[in-house]
Amino acid sequence: MLAIFLLLLEVELLKNVESLGLPEYIKSCSRNDPKLNECALQSFDLNKKLISADALVNLDVKCQYDLSGKILLVPIKSNGDASIKLKNTMLHIRMWYEHVEGDDGNIHWKIYKHDIKYDVERAIFRLENLLNDKNIGDQVNKLLNEMWQEIVADVGPSICNSLSAAVVKNLGVLLEQVSYDELMPE
């Protein structure tokens, strides 16, 4: 039953991700900083053709879940609102690119491989209307929150892969439109 829920949750997860913002102790590059290029280039390795980025985020995911399956021979069905909070989640994404000639005749970067690693300090789950019984639902939510590390270990890789694929797709659209010379003028 938990596996079915987790699978359905993975599908819905990225639809409603809301960032809670960066913690105060994370310093980002200011676009008014006279050393902006130096700051930004720390994410690029032009020799290895590698872009890497680290982010410490808090995520609050709100979605709908739909659970159906069997416990022993008894069919179960449940649906409702779900909330998942991932506290102090460190994301590390790497993207390898190659130079390709674009439709405009200029050289562009094209991402051909990527990976993502993550570390979650704490996950908090809340599923409403579980099995249509508040007492059972409260107990299942308590169990989910006691087992948060196992759940994150189970579904985290596919969620992060979906997240990084979305980032790569969006970045790919930009890289198709902006040439290498525009990104990194001589």
Greatest CA separation for the chain = 68
When the pLDDT of each residue in the chain is averaged and rounded to a whole number, the result is 79
Place of tokens 């900083």: 33
Q: Which of 81, 155, 168, 167 is nearest to 123 (CA)?
A: 155
- The band of 145, judged by pLDDT with boundaries at 50, 70 and 90, is very high
Domain CATH for 93: 3.15.10.30
Collect all residues with Cβ–Cβ distance below 8 Å to 142 and sequence separation of at least 6. Answer: none
**Residue 125 · residue 87 · CB < 8 Å:** no
Percent of the chain past pLDDT 90, that is, above it, reads: 28
Q: Which residue has the higher pLDDT, 154 or 46?
A: 154
To 5 degrees, how large is the angle CA 90–CA 93–CA 94?
A: 150
Predicted pLDDT of residue 37: 63
Number of domains in the chain: 1
- The band of 148, judged by pLDDT with boundaries at 50, 70 and 90, is very high
pTM: 0.66
Residue 131 DSSP code: G
Predicted pLDDT of residue 17: 44
**Residue 130 · residue 142 · CB < 8 Å:** no
pLDDT in tens, 64-85: 888 888 777 777 788 999 998 9
Range of the domain at 16: 2-183
Predicted pLDDT of residue 45: 81
Q: Which of 163, 23, 177 is nearest to 92 (CA)?
A: 163
Collect all residues with Cβ–Cβ distance below 8 Å to 13 and sequence separation of at least 6. Answer: 61, 63, 84, 159, 162
